[in-house]
Structure formats: structure tokens, C-alpha cells
Structure 1
Amino acid sequence: MTLEAAADANYGNAASGSSFYAAMRILPAAQREAMFQIYSFCRKVDDIADSDGPREERLAALQEWRDDIDSLYRGNPPPRLADYVASVKKFDLKREDFLAIVDGMEMDVPQDIRAPDMATLDLYCDRVASAVGRLSVRVFGLPHDDGIELAHHLGRALQLTNILRDLDEDAALGRLYLPREGLLHAGITNDDPARVIADRALPRVCMPIADRAKMHFAKADEVMARNKRRVVRAPRIMGKYYHAILDLLIARGFAAPREPVRVSKITKASIVFRYAFI
């Protein structure tokens, strides 16, 4: 899923109290509206990919979204994207990023992802998370090169954290996003999700992914540190919230049984207060 359709995944759900809502509510109206449009799009296509409908129907529904995006950029937006016209123009949102998100969702549809190689996992993260970031940084107003770099690193950091957090939930859906190379290095030779997440060697697969996520968080922080505070307030809140999730996962460990981790309300509030107002 895309940061749980973009963060609460993956940068996600607009429900009050979510990290996404907390980060976006501090934005000026036009930016806030554009961000909710981006994430509404993510949620809708993610719901298609995660539904239990026939795969052929899900593929057709995703193709309809591609066709609608094309119509939007040809100047003939369908009703469900009519409100996007102003945001696309104001923030120069790119067609290819919307399409990349659909492509990422589709990676789970012909067959469930199970132990992809590292290159495929990185492509998946780019499409379902960093592409969302590339749209977002245009709304936030970052310079082009720094925006692309931030989207690359923060998107991957958030999505890798999601993968580690959602091991059991994804396995229940028949999915396994841990990389094949990591499994083999740990001596795990099958890709059955239920068996993998119960394997005693699982922590040896997960910790390198956690280290990779920490590296991407650090790189994202470097980009944000050299930009104006007002343009990185929202991504900072998202990044710090997800880093807190990663820290909790590492402290808990990855051996079965795994209790869900949750960032406390006090921690959430302190993150918002520190990076939105101080």
C-alpha cells in the first residue's frame, strides 16, 4: 500500500488525529487543498489495489485512472478530477508522478508482491512513496533539485518503515515486501509470507531494512536543514513522526510475536509543536 495510501502510510489518510492531518493542517489554504487532493487520489487508487475484487477488474479500474489523468492534462478533466485543475496549474504538478503512483499500485495486482529483489523493491518505493513526495514538494515550494532529493529519501524512509511496521498485516493479505537478497542472506529460502514472518531469522532480514530507512531519514534531514523552515514544516512533521515509529519498531524487535507499536499522543503533540510553531 502507498504509505497506507500515503502514510497513515506512506505520507496518508486525512482522518483527524493522523500524522498526515497534523502536518497538513498548518499549511495555507491553497497548499492544504492541493495536498488533500493528492492524498485523496492516492487513497482511491490504493483502495482499488487492496480490494478483494477480481484482478482483471482491478487492473481495468486502475487503467481508468490513467485515462482520467491523461484527460486532466489534455484540458478535459473528468468530474472526479475537476477540482484538481487549479492545483495542477498553480503548483505545476506533473502528470508522470500521478501515473507513477498508479503504476506502483498495479505492481500488487497481477499477483501479490512476494520477496521482490532489491531493485524491484526500490522501484516500488519510488512509485508509491517518492512519487507522492515529488508532487508534495512542489506544493510545499522547495527548490527543484532539493525537492527531488527530499522526495527520494523521505519517500523511501517512510515506505520502508511502513513495510517493517506492517509485516503481519501484509502477510495476512499474502504479501511480503522484504527483499529476496535479505531473506537468502538470513538463510530463509522460501517466500511464503506466513512462514517468513514466523521464522526465527526474521530479525536478520529486518534490521538491515531499518538501517536503510535510518540512512534515508538522515539524508532527508540534510535536505530540510538547508531549506527555509516554512517550506519544510509539513515534511519535517511527517519525517519525525515516522522516525519515532521506526525507533519503536527497533526497540520492540522483529521476532514473533510482535505487538503493534503506536506513537503516544504526547510524542505526536510535541512533534507538531516543535516543528510547526517553535
Structure 2
Amino acid sequence: MRVLPKAEREAMFAVYAFCRAVDDIADDLEGTRDERRAGLAKWRADIDSLYAGGPPGQAKLVASAVQGFGLAREDFHDVIDGMAMDVESVIRAPDAATLDLYCDRVASAVGRLSVRIFGMSGAPAIDLAYHLGRALQLTNILRDIDEDAEIGRLYLPRETLVAHGIAGDAPVAVAAHPALDGVARDVAALAHEHYAAANAVMASRPAGYLFAPRLMSAVYATTLKRMERTGWHLPRSRTKLGKRGLLWIVLKVWLTK
């Protein structure tokens, strides 16, 4: 986000601070389900008050971004709805449609807020948010399989697990299953389809600040390719690019912008 002009950069920081705030509520496993529901409900009410011209409460955090870039209230609601999915039930091996809805709410909705800040509009903006959001979220899911299993979550699609002969949805057991590598590779293939679609949108040179989403696409796609090279067989370690790897990607994206 630091590559953006000041106003756009500050708006993106505000949006991501909002996302972090509601994500922290959803992930606060020490809080009761009712407490987490109430925390998300308060954010929803404050967002509504902001758009109605009332006291914004916590939503003051994004007030300047909303005013400056015409961000849609529905997209903030969608993010909150995505976090609520983690609060209402422990997600374990959702069907493909539920997983796609989850990705839309927690990632593509953030993309819909972001593309407005990037100065994009119309079909290219919506398409980029749709595809890049899903690509990034699927990459996160594949990177965080073990961390999610430790807290009882499993975001891999049920249909793909069944196709590879994995029965049940016990996260730790699935994470240790010898067929997991095949499941992960199928999910990775879907993520690559979304990266390709997002990159095609950006290659068409729509109006807007494209360096930031191009950089996000390159960093996450490189992370995914590294995971594919090492595979998902046990023992696993979390894939990290490191500062040198990140700087190399920044340079490559900058030279081809």
C-alpha cells in the first residue's frame, strides 16, 4: 500500500484496519459466541450510522475513506457477514458454494472496497475484485492449513476431500491425511485460474492505480508456487518469501508496469 499516493494509501490503511478489527473479533476464541456476535453487531450499527449521517462510533476509522472514495456500505456489511460465518459455526470442510461465499465476503468484498480506492470502476473493477480476492483467500487457506486445524477450522472444500478419499471433517486428522497433497493441489489449480483471470483484467490496462493489485497478485502467486514445489505432505513448514524475495518481486512488477 505504500506505493499509492497519500490519500489512497491512507484510505487503504483505514480499510485494512477495519478488516483487522472485525477479524480479531471473529478470531477471539477466548470470547463467547454471544460476545463476538455483539462485537460484530456494534461494527455493523456504527457503519450504518456513518452512512446515515449519525455518530460513526468505531466507523470513524473509515469515515474519510468512505467520503473520499464513495465506498459502498454493502461491501463493509459483506466483510462483517464473512466474519460472522466464523462466529456462528466452526467452519469445517464447507461445500464448494459455501466456501466461495466465504471467500467473496472476507476477500472479494475487501477487493470491492479497494478497487474504488485504486480509481477503478465498472466491470473491470468488479471482475478484478472477484478474481483476485478469491485467489488470495484460497492461497491463504492453503498456507494456513495447520494453523487453522489447531483452532478447529478446516476451509478445504468437502467435494474435493471426498474426491481424494478423505472422509470426515476433523481438521487435525484431515491435515495429517496422506491424500491432503492432492486436495491442496486441486485447490491451488482453482486459485491459479483466478490469478489468471485477475491478471487478464489488469493486462487490459483499465484506468486506476494498478501497481498495488499487480504486486499483491505477484507476491501471493509466488507464495502459492513455492507451496506447490514443496507440496503438502508432512512434515510441513509455513511458506515465507522473506525480504529479499519480496524486494525481487517488487522490482520485477515495477519494471513491467
Flag whether TM exceeds 0.5 (same fold). yes
**In structure 2, what residue type is equivalent to 1:49?**
A
Aligned partner of 1:266 among 234, 237, 244: 244
2:26 pairs with 1:49: yes
**Which residue does the alignment assign to 1:194?**
172
**Which residue does the alignment assign to 2:220?**
242
**In structure 2, what residue type is equivalent to 1:227?**
R
Aligned-residue identity in percent: 53
2:33–2:87 Cα contact (<8 Å) kept: yes
User: How far apart, CA to CA, are the structure 2 residues paired with 1:85 and 1:194?
Assistant: 41
For 1:195-224, what per-residue CA distance to the aligned partner results, in whole angstroms no more than 9, with x for missing partners? 001111111211110000011001000000
Give the C-alpha shift of residue 90 in structure 1. Answer: 1.9
User: How far apart, CA to CA, are the structure 1 residues paired with 2:42 and 2:21?
Assistant: 12
| Unmatched runs of 5 consecutive residues or more in structure 2 | none
2:120–2:207 Cα contact (<8 Å) kept: no
**In structure 2, what residue type is equivalent to 1:171?**
A
1:77–1:85 Cα contact (<8 Å) kept: no
User: How far apart, CA to CA, are the structure 2 residues paired with 1:242 and 1:260?
Assistant: 13
2:128–2:201 Cα contact (<8 Å) kept: yes
**In structure 1, what residue type is equivalent to 2:28?**
S
**Which residue does the alignment assign to 2:103?**
125
User: How far apart, CA to CA, are the structure 2 residues paired with 1:175 and 1:79?
Assistant: 32
TM-score normalised by L of structure 2: 0.96
TM-score normalised by L of structure 1: 0.89
**Cα distance change on mapping 1:138 and 1:195 into 2, 3 Å:** same
For 1:163-203, what per-residue CA distance to the aligned partner results, in whole angstroms no more than 9, with x for missing partners? 00000000001000001101111111110001001111111
Give the C-alpha shift of residue 77 in structure 1. Answer: 3.6
Q: Secondary structure of the residue that 2:210 maps to in structure 1?
A: helix
**Cα distance change on mapping 1:172 and 1:83 into 2, 3 Å:** closer
User: How far apart, CA to CA, are the structure 2 residues paired with 1:42 and 1:83?
Assistant: 11
User: How far apart, CA to CA, are the structure 2 residues paired with 1:186 and 1:277?
Assistant: 42
**Cα distance change on mapping 1:45 and 1:83 into 2, 3 Å:** closer
| Unmatched runs of 5 consecutive residues or more in structure 1 | 1-23
User: How far apart, CA to CA, are the structure 1 residues paired with 2:254 and 2:76?
Assistant: 28
Give the C-alpha shift of residue 89 in structure 1. Answer: 2.1
Which range moves more in the overlay, 240-249 or 253-262? 253-262
**In structure 2, what residue type is equivalent to 1:68?**
D
**Which residue does the alignment assign to 2:59?**
81
**Which residue does the alignment assign to 1:65?**
43
Aligned partner of 2:5 among 28, 32, 46: 28
2:130 pairs with 1:152: yes
**Which residue does the alignment assign to 1:106?**
84
**Which residue does the alignment assign to 1:7?**
none
**Cα distance change on mapping 1:267 and 1:183 into 2, 3 Å:** same
For 1:13-39, what per-residue CA distance to the aligned partner results, in whole angstroms no more than 9, with x for missing partners? xxxxxxxxxxx1011111011100100
**Cα distance change on mapping 1:231 and 1:103 into 2, 3 Å:** same
* Structure 1 residue ranges (4+ consecutive) displaced by more than 4 angstroms after TM superposition: none
**Which residue does the alignment assign to 2:201?**
223
Give the C-alpha shift of residue 99 in structure 1. Answer: 0.4
User: How far apart, CA to CA, are the structure 2 residues paired with 1:214 and 1:91?
Assistant: 30
**In structure 2, what residue type is equivalent to 1:109?**
V
For 1:103-133, what per-residue CA distance to the aligned partner results, in whole angstroms no more than 9, with x for missing partners? 0001011221000000000000000000000
CA RMSD of aligned residues (A): 1.3
2:156 pairs with 1:178: yes
User: How far apart, CA to CA, are the structure 2 residues paired with 1:49 and 1:84?
Assistant: 19
**Which residue does the alignment assign to 1:20?**
none
